[in-house]
Amino acid sequence: MKALRDDFAIPYARALRMVREGYSTFGRDFCLVFLATLLLSFLSALVPLLLREAADLLSRTDAEAVTVFLFVAAYACSWTVCNAMEWLKSIATSHVMVRCDTAFYRTLFKCLLSIPFHQRQALSKGEVLSDFDRSMSSFGQINQTVFWTLTPMLFEFVFVFLILWNATSALFSVLFLLAMVGLFCVALWVSQQTRDVYQRTFEATNELSAFLVEKLDANLEISINLSAEKESRKLRPIINRYATALFGANTRTAVLLGTQVVAIGLVLLSFTLASSHMTILGIFGVGDFVMVASYVVQLTTPFAVVASSLVGLKRDYLALESGLKYVDLANTDTGSARIEDESILFDVRSYRTSKGASLSFRIEIGKTYAVCGPTGSGKTTLINALLGLSRGYDGMISFTGGGSGPALADNHPESRQRRIAGSVRFPGDPAR
């Protein structure tokens, strides 16, 4: 139970909070779509029941033609409505999923920009791009699988079980129930065998994306050094690992889903033969056989979808986790120091430069300062540290902004950047 909470409930709740920030009507839209899918499941469960009544009437010599036509028409209309509503359901779920994707992406982007500069600078661009691309649609896909696919199927199964209980025998209904539970267990087992496969695929995709971004950033160096052929050779082992991981994932998934289909076929064969045998013995009527066969096909066939949905659910949760890690990086601790003199802008104590020198000084309001030194002495690093962009140094830098009260210490770089304007200049370029 704890694993279910930690691996599924908590990540979903965190993603839900992120989505609601940018999609305020999510709760209303979600409930409307959920109720529509339950209604569709109810109508789907009625189709074989109407077919049974029509078949029973056709087998009776005293049946009125009008009544037969009414049940046949009701069967045809219900089938048509159910299949038409499937497409309307696709439109409704797509509307909610797309808005979930965009809301999640916006919030995730804000979290990325909230990560401290020194941590954000250390992130692999290719990995960030891959993680954002995967996690963007993960929350919507989880809703699609759990609430708009599996839950309606469960509702339909319960309704069908009650119909079979009343129309056939208790033993037949219980055996049918156990068979469906067995198929679901097989589907669950199949999904559990794919976690490591998709994890390796994600890692291979991240490696490939990181390589491409790295080479795009090194475009000038590649052109100057005429190293295109060399870089192409470097790509070969990376692309081979990607192909191996992807082929392995597809192969293993196909084999596991094939196992699920065999189990479905055995259940379909068993209950079809059993219902036909009971019809021959006179225990079932013709309508009962048609209804049971229809329900067996209607409920067993989607179990292949259940298996693939559970496999996809595992993949979507892995993708969601790859996005949520940026939310964790954005949550930084805070601290404070105190500077009593209102004329002090920065108070630097025991700052150690890249050359090993220890600096302690104060920068006062209204004065002009120049940082001088030879190349490589750490001038840019010091300025970045003062602005809160760099954290990899020894010592203490406190910023007050010229006011009294608590100064902001090293772990408050964002507040410094809101109150200090900077202009970056490159040789021969205007300020930008």
Judge whether residue 427 has pLDDT over 60. no
Number of domains in the chain: 2
State the average pLDDT over residues 43-71: 82
Instruction: Please check the confidence at residue 11 and state whether its pLDDT lies above 80.
Output: yes
- What pLDDT is attached to residue 93? 93
CATH number of the domain bearing residue 308: 1.20.1560.10
The pLDDT score that the predictor gives to residue 410 is: 46
Q: Decide if 425 is inside a domain.
A: no
- 313 & 405 share domain: no
DSSP states along 171-234: HHHHHHHHHHHHHHHHHHHHHHTTHHHHHHHHHHHHHHHHHHHHHHHTHHHHHHHT-HHHHHHH
If asked whether residues 27 and 143 sit together in one domain, one would say yes
C-beta separation of 313 from 73 below 8 A: no
Residue 430 lies in a domain: no
297 CB-near residues (< 8 Å, 6+ apart): 268
Average pLDDT, the chain: 79
Instruction: Report yes or no on 101 lying in a domain.
Output: yes
Token pair belonging to 151: 């839950």
Mean pLDDT of 409-419: 55
On whether the pTM is more than 0.75, the answer is: no
pLDDT digit string, tens, across residues 171-184: 888 888 888 888 88
Q: Are residues 321 and 380 in the same domain?
A: no
Q: What is the pLDDT of residue 15?
A: 92
Report how far apart, in Å, the C-alpha atoms of 350 and of each of 252, 356, 393, 413, 429 are.
Answer: 58, 11, 10, 19, 35
Residues 213-235: pLDDT tens digits? Answer: 888 888 878 887 778 888 888 88
pLDDT at 27: 92
Average pLDDT, integer, range 303-331: 79
For residue 57, the tally of other CB atoms under 10 A from its CB is 19
In a domain, 426, yes or no: no
- Least confident interval from 115-124, 255-264, 336-345: 336-345
- Name the residue among 86, 87, 91, 94 with its Cα closest to residue 43: 86
Whether residue 369 sits in one domain with residue 290: no
Q: Which amino acid is at 412?
A: H
Q: If you ran DSSP here, which 8-state letter would residue 431 be given? A: -
Output DSSP code: residue 333: -
* CB-CB neighbours of 235 under 10 Å: 14
Q: Residue type at 296?
A: V
Q: How far apart are CA 365 and CA 343, in angstroms?
A: 5
My answer on whether 128 and 177 are in the same domain is yes
Taking only the tens place, the pLDDT of each residue in 184-212 is 888 778 777 776 777 788 888 888 888 88
Query: Are 42 and 164 in the same domain?
Result: yes
Which of 173-182, 207-216, 253-262, 360-369 is predicted least confidently?
360-369
Angle formed at CA 258 by CA 252 and CA 263, multiple of 5 degrees = 135
Please check whether residues 93 and 225 belong to one and the same domain: yes
Q: Which of 297, 330, 363 is the last residue of a domain?
A: 330
